[in-house]
Amino acid sequence: MSRMVVNAPAPAPARAAQADDDLHLLNLWLHGKSAHTQEAYRRDVDQFIDFADLPLTKIRLTHFWD
């Protein structure tokens, strides 16, 4: 009779690719999402970057505290 282990730990995820710039980061994030979702998220991110007036790599939580 075999035993099933119910609470076995999940395998470690493969190391995620690191983004070199905002566009690369956005492409990594959107990979595998539908074309409609990608379009909507790109539009949202563009608006956010315009509002923040900083690249994503420079935005920190402290920018939202004021």
pLDDT of residue 20: 84
Q: Are 22 and 49 in contact (CB under 8 A)?
A: yes
**Residue 58 CA, distance from chain mean position:** 15
**What number of residues does the chain have?**
66
Averaged pLDDT of the chain: 82
| Residue located via tokens 């190391």 | 15
List C-alpha distances in Å: 34 to 30, 39, 44, 49, 59. 8, 9, 15, 22, 27
Enter the tokens of residue 29: 């994030």
**Tell me: the pLDDT tens digits for 33-60?**
999 999 999 999 999 999 999 998 899 9
